[in-house]
């Protein structure tokens, strides 16, 4: 058998020829995307590089099959191969995370959270209601009772981490559907330290008495004690839902264990597959046996037909994450985040919470006199891909922001280590120190425009290229 690199090269070259025969501009854009990803410092905390095996699995005829329902219980005929794929993906997920039940159909993280919300409502509200009315399902309810149940379902409470403290928009942020379907309140972080204050969370939970307590984050640079969150949930009768989308790779890789592993503590855990877990773009839900029957109704309750080609790729990615080498990768992601944070701190930059102990760092760019938007743009000019992010109590709002979120999963996949992440911190500080905020057309201070000193972008790109060339993306993959 030819070696894997040359097999991958021929697979992609041939696939691109087939695509180009129909729409050459898409083939060209696909090639350009690889070139861009190869030549930039990708520091977006929610991105990674999936393996060729994962990527290739998505490009098949499983895409053509409808399979609404669950394994062995579909609304369409001919789903025997989809059943194989879905069972295998769920089995790998259960084994990988030590979960009682896994549901691998959600198309994204938001979908996974919607499945979790509706399964909690179905299990906690709809189920007992039907039982009391001695009905098997909602179709048996009178119109009047159905209206009462609908009002009850729409009258529940959710407590989640606020967006500016590092929570996610699906954790009850008003512009998101989670903030509309629930009465929501948010917990934040300690204003002095930026850290979660569990006593404050408990006090809020006692007062608000939520049906759902959501833990997890997308921009909080620290670990969470999920045993404590479960104690809080139990005390107030809430269901504990943990969104581990950002750190599921660190859970899979056993960097987060004991109280920091959400799976033994939460009733329901949701995640994406494409961030630190390094799989295809998608979501999944883990649950206790108690919640499994309602989670199983995710499609068609909340989701459209499962993306069978993506479920197949999830199975491949979970299989990869079960290998010993993934543990080493996950540990390196966390070690590298530490190196990045140290690199900033020794250059006097300001980090939210003063550091990190997960995969991400939140840099407060206000000390450079910049908004997050200006910093993000200047860094992009220099080939450093990041995303702007709010910091706690951000005075610049969620559009301009005062922070830059940086994550290590992607560059760790390329093989970057301590010294490279120290250099990355140096390059970022160099760019931001040489960026001036611009002015509006009327001459006032602008939150968007900026000017980067001449020569800085080229110098940073040159230094990055040296590191990137030493750690090629998809080594051996040569496109024609
Ligand atoms: N967009 C993802 C992130 O960047 O964190 C979460 O939705």
Name the residue at shortest CA distance from atom 6 of ligand 1.
Answer: 218
Using the Cα atoms of residue 50, residue 262, residue 45 and residue 466 in order, give the sign of their dihedral.
negative
pTM score > 0.95 for this model? yes
Q: Are residues 463 and 361 in the same domain?
A: yes
Q: Please report, for residues 33, 356, 371, 457, the alpha-carbon distance to residue 363 in angstroms, rounded to integers and kept in the order given.
A: 27, 11, 11, 20
| 3-class secondary structure per residue, 412-425 | HHHCCCHHHHHHHH
Q: Which residues on neighbouring strands pair with residue 385, listed in sequence order?
A: 42
Residues 241 and 162 in one domain: yes
- Is residue 312 located within the same domain as residue 332? no
CA distance 233 to 471: 45
Would the CB of 270 count as within 6 Å of ligand 1? no
For residue 475, tell me if it sits in a domain. Answer: no
DSSP assignment string, 430-455: HHHHTEEEEE-TTSSEEEEEEEEPTT
Classify burial at 207, counting beta carbons within 10 Å of its beta carbon; exposed 0-12, middle 13-18, buried 19 or more: exposed
Tokens for 363, please give them.
């840099």
Residue 456 CB partners (closer than 8 Å, separation 6+): 382, 430, 431, 434
**For residue 49, is it within any domain?**
no
What's the CATH code of the domain at 262? 3.40.640.10
If asked whether residues 341 and 224 sit together in one domain, one would say no
Q: Are 228 and 83 part of one and the same domain?
A: yes
Domain boundary, last residue among 256, 288, 321:
321
Q: Residue 449: which domain range?
A: 324-470
Q: What is the rounded CA–CA span in Å between residue 128 and residue 120?
A: 12
Domain at 331, CATH number: 3.90.1150.10
Whole-number Å distance between alpha carbons of 195 and 46: 21
In whole angstroms, what separates CA 262 from the centre of its chain? 15
- H or E element, residue 12: helix 4-20
Distance 221 CA to ligand 1 centre (A): 14
Ligand 1 centre and the CA of 10: distance in Å? 33
Domain boundary residue, one of 291, 321, 351: 321
Examine the pLDDT at 465 and tell me if it is beyond 80.
Answer: yes
Residue 54 lies in a domain: no
Helix (H/G/I), strand (E/B), else coil: 61: helix
Percent of the residues in the chain that have a pLDDT greater than 70, as a whole number: 100
pLDDT in tens, 379-412: 999 999 999 999 999 999 999 999 999 999 999 9
422 in a structural domain: yes
188 falls within a domain: yes
Which of 251, 286, 321 is where one domain is finished? Answer: 321
Structural domain total, the chain = 2
Beta pairing, strands 403-407 & 360-364: antiparallel
User: Token pair of 98, please?
Assistant: 């030590």
Say yes or no: 445 and 305 in one domain: no
**CA 316 – CA 410 distance, rounded (Å):** 18
The answer as to whether 284 is a domain residue is yes
Confidence class for position 1, pLDDT limits 50, 70, 90: low
Distance, CA of 219 to CA of 215 (rounded, Å): 13
Same domain for 184 and 217? yes
Is there a single domain that holds both residue 276 and residue 405? no
Examine the domain organization and report whether 120 and 249 are in the same domain. yes
pLDDT digits (tens, 9 = 90+) for 88-126: 999 999 999 999 999 999 999 999 999 999 999 999 999
Within a domain: 8 = no
What is the average per-residue pLDDT within 225-231?
Answer: 98
pLDDT at 5 over 90: no
pLDDT of residue 476: 85
Q: Is the pLDDT of residue 317 over 90?
A: yes
In a shared domain, residues 328 and 389: yes
Please choose from 42, 44, 46, 273 the residue to mutate so as to test ligand 1's pocket, defined by most ligand atoms within 8 A of CB. 46
Q: Report the half-sphere exposure of 130 (CA within 13 A, side-chain side).
A: 16
- Same structural domain, 197 and 87: yes
As a whole-number percent, the residues of the chain with pLDDT over 90 amount to: 97
Task: Looking at the structure, tell me whether residues 304 and 339 fall in a common domain.
Answer: no
Q: Do the domain assignments include residue 53?
A: no
Q: Is the CB of 46 under 6 A from ligand 1?
A: yes
Distance, CA 394 to ligand 1 centroid (Å)? Answer: 18
Predicted pLDDT of residue 6? 86
Cβ neighbourhood burial of 443 (10 Å; 0-12, 13-18, 19+): exposed
């Amino acid at each position: 058998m030819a070696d894997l690199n040359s097999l991958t090269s021929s697979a992609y070259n041939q696939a691109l020829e087939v695509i180009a025969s129909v729409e050459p501009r898409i083939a060209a854009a696909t090639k350009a995307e690889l070139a861009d990803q190869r030549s930039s410092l990708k520091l977006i905390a929610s991105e990674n590089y999936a393996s060729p095996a994962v990527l290739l699995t998505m490009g098949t005829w499983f895409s053509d099959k409808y399979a609404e329902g669950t394994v062995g219980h579909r609304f369409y005929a001919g789903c025997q191969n989809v059943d194989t794929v879905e069972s295998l993906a769920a089995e790998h997920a259960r084994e990988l995370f030590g979960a009682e039940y896994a549901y691998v159909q959600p198309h994204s993280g938001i979908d996974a959270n919607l499945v979790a919300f509706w399964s909690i409502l179905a299990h906690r509200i709809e189920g007992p209601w039907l039982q009391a009315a001695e009905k098997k399902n909602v179709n048996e309810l009178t119109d009047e009772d159905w209206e009462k149940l609908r009002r009850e379902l729409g009258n529940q409470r959710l407590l989640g981490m606020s967006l500016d403290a590092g929570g996610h928009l699906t954790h009850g942020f008003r512009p998101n559907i989670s903030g509309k379907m629930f009465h929501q309140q948010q917990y934040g972080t300690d204003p002095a330290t930026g850290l979660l204050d569990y006593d404050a969370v408990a006090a809020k939970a006692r007062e608000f008495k939520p049906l759902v307590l959501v833990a997890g984050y997308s921009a909080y640079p620290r670990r969470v004690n999920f045993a404590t969150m479960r104690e809080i949930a139990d005390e107030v009768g809430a269901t504990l839902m943990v969104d581990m989308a950002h750190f599921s790779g660190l859970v899979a890789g056993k960097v987060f264990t004991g109280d920091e592993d959400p799976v033994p503590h939460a009733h329901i855990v949701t995640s994406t597959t494409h961030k630190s877990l390094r799989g295809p773009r998608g979501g999944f839900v883990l649950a206790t046996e108690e919640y499994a029957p309602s989670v199983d109704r995710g499609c068609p309750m909340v989701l459209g037909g499962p993306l069978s080609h993506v479920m197949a790729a999830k199975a491949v990615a979970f299989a990869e994450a079960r290998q010993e080498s993934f543990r080493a990768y996950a540990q390196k992601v966390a070690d590298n985040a530490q190196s990045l944070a140290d690199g900033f701190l020794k250059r006097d930059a300001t980090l939210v919470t003063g550091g990190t102990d997960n995969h991400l760092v939140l840099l407060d760019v206000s000390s450079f006199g910049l908004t997050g938007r200006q910093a993000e743009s200047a860094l992009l000019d220099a080939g450093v891909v990041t995303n702007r992010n709010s910091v706690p109590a951000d005075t610049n709002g969620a559009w301009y922001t005062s922070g830059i979120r940086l994550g290590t999963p992607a560059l760790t996949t390329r093989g970057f280590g301590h010294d490279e992440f120290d250099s990355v911190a140096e390059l970022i500080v160099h760019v931001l120190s040489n960026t001036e905020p611009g002015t509006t057309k009327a001459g006032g201070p602008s939150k968007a425009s900026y000017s980067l000193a001449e020569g800085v972008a080229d110098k940073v790109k040159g230094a990055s290229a040296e590191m990137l060339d030493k750690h090629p993306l998809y080594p051996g993959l040569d496109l024609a």
